[in-house]
Amino acid sequence: MDSLNLSKFCIRLGDHCLIMAHRQSELCSNGPFLEEDIAQINLGLDLLGQAEALLIYAAKLEGGSRSADDLAFRRSERQFHNFMLTEQPNTDFAFVIVRQYIMSLYLLKTYQVLSKVEDETLSGIALKALKELTYHERHFSMWINRLGDGTAESKLRIQTAVDELWMFVGELYEEDALDLTAQKALYAPKGEEMKAFLMEQITAKFTEATLSVPESVYMTTGSKQGIHTEYLGFLLTEMQYLQRAYPDAKW
């Protein structure tokens, strides 16, 4: 892949991590109990670290006209390429768990492939992230089991979250020109391979947790062109507040 495509590729992956990290940060002091609150923020920080590494590398590949901070804080909604799933709000704890569980699987598969590429920066980022994501999957899948196979109320809540979020899953294995370029260079799994992996994992987990996998439903599309749900704008308003109000403010 040439550096222009590679930088776009890193921005996409970095955007998924950055937006999820912000969603996780919103849970700070709002977790169901202290230990879980800290765990959720921890996992959010892992994602922020991955986002930072990826955006720094993307900025470098672009030639240095923009910094990683510019990428995070000076782009508008239409310039973000995170999946719509990642920006979905923390409606309740079940929504957090379902969103993060599915994205953990996606990132696991993505980093598994990336850990084997020749580009040493990317394979280094991926190898480190793989360890983090292995734990994320473990933590979130534990909650899928607990809530799904828990009380009538917890089951209702998590099945509702699954049903509401399911239409955003299609984007995770959709392919556009950049994906095909990345796949050709062996930087990303094929869409059908990603889909098979996700469905296999999710079906097994949901069966164990006595949840049902939604039947074929309408799947949204658009984040690869910068089209998002209404929630991203509000998220960015908060995340980018400081740089918008005080441009070039330094810590």
Which stretches of the chain bind other proteins, using CB under 8 A?
A: 33-36, 38-39, 42, 135, 138-139, 142
With vertex at residue 83, the alpha carbon angle to CA 118 and CA 36, rounded to the nearest 5 degrees, is 95
The CA distances from residue 30 to 40, 91, 154, 179, in Å, are: 10, 12, 18, 37
* CB nearer other proteins, residue 205 or residue 228: 205
With vertex at residue 101, the alpha carbon angle to CA 96 and CA 104, rounded to the nearest 5 degrees, is 120
Write down the least CB distance from residue 40 to other proteins, Å.
9
* CB nearer other proteins, residue 140 or residue 187: 140
CB atoms within 10 A of CB 19: 28
Q: Return d(Cα 36, Cα 203) in angstroms, integer.
A: 26
Diameter of the chain by CA atoms? 55
Write down the least CB distance from residue 32 to other proteins, Å.
9
- Report the SS3 class of residue 69: helix
* CB nearer other proteins, residue 36 or residue 70: 36
* CB nearer other proteins, residue 116 or residue 138: 138
Q: Return d(Cα 181, Cα 187) in angstroms, integer.
A: 9
Write down the least CB distance from residue 160 to other proteins, Å.
22
Write down the least CB distance from residue 128 to other proteins, Å.
13
* CB nearer other proteins, residue 31 or residue 89: 31
* CB nearer other proteins, residue 74 or residue 146: 146
For residue 226, which of 178, 194, 187 has the smallest C-alpha distance?
Answer: 178
Token pair, residue 10, equals 């890193």
